Amino acid sequence: MNWQAVAGRFTPPARLAVIGDPIGHSRSPQMHNPALQACGIDAQYIRVQVPVGRVAEAFRRFAACGFLGVNITIPHKFEALDAVDVLDPLARQLGAVNTLAIREGQLHGYNSDGPGFLRSVREAFGADVKDLRLLILGAGGGAGRAVAVQSALSGCQKLMLVNRSQAKAEAVAAEIHALDSSPAASVVPWDEVALREALASTDLIVNATSIGMQPDDASLLPPDALVARHLIFDMVYRAGGETPLLAAARQAGARTVDGLSLLLHQGAISFEHWFDRPAPLNVMRQCLQNAAKE
């Protein structure tokens, strides 16, 4: 691909991108392009499909073409860790890079998923993660691990980690134990009795698995184990309908938030890294909501 030609093909010029494989589904351009316009920034945000194993090469090409920044999504967030010149300490701790800022040719790697999760919880529930007891389903996956470590760093009251492949949750718990002054993280087996018991002492339930994206996905938890005091954060976003977990939560009278909120807040934090100014959050929120109806 002639990258200079690709970058020059756009008006305004392409200066920001999201990479993944596949990437066609990403809603990030619908949120970032109106934000750039609202701030009078003469730049366009595009999607670029990058195959596994080619992330470092892609970053160098973006830098050579005058790009300012890149978002990184599935499956490249881990590969990106080793493809930057300067790794932010939080991204190192969270084990993934989802934001690249290119400054004077240098590649700076950040993670905005963890801090975006904290903002999202605060906005949706008016609560701080540090005051909550969390149960994280899918804690062994990339997003679940980042949320678990971020919550531990924030000093949450209790951290219960659940993962289909339990060994992965145990590895995350061991990492958290090694952090300074972190709360104890326990691993809860993925079985009904253990989950029911854990839910009795949970405030915030996070779904960081990919279950819920398909209309026929089963509910992750026994619906009658959810109660009105639970706060439910489903990182999955499903166009055209509620996930089964959110539907069960609504039935129980529990408060909920879906993956669109995290998409918004992690995007706003990426914008702040690129432009060193607050993101136009309301413009981004409105455009994401409009895009979600398409």
Q: Please give the positions annotated as active site.
A: 77
Closer residue to ligand NAP, CB minimum distance, 38 or 217: 217
Q: Of 6-14, 181-189, 210-218, 241-249, which segment contacts ligand NAP by CB under 6 A?
A: 210-218
Closest CB to ligand NAP among 165 and 251?
A: 165
Shortest CB 187 distance to ligand NAP, Å: 13
Output the smallest distance, CB 68 to ligand NAP, in A.
Answer: 21
Minimum distance of ligand NAP from residue 139's CB (angstroms)? 7
What is the DSSP-derived secondary structure letter of residue 221?
Answer: S
CA distance 163 to 177: 17
Task: Decide if 75 contacts 52 (C-beta within 8 A).
Answer: yes
**Amino acid symbol at 148:** A
Distance of alpha carbon 244 from alpha carbon 226, whole angstroms: 12
Question: Distance between CA 231 and CA 205 in Å, rounded?
Answer: 6
Q: Which residues in the 247-276 window bind ligand NAP by CB under 6 A?
A: 259, 262-263, 266
| CA triple 181-185-191, angle to 5 deg | 175
Q: Which is nearer to ligand NAP, 7 or 23 (CB)?
A: 23
Q: H or E element: which one contains 271?
A: helix 259-275
Contact between 208 and ligand NAP per CB under 6 A:
yes
Structure token digits, residue 1: 């691909």
Which distant-in-sequence residues (6+ apart) come within 8 Å of 179 by Cβ? Answer: 93, 149, 152, 153
Binders in 129-158 for ligand NAP, by CB under 6 A: 138, 140-144
For ligand NAP, the binding residues in 220-249 under the rule CB under 6 A are 235-237
By CB under 6 A, name the binding residues for ligand NAP.
Answer: 74, 113, 138, 140-144, 163-165, 168, 208-211, 213, 235-237, 259, 262-263, 266
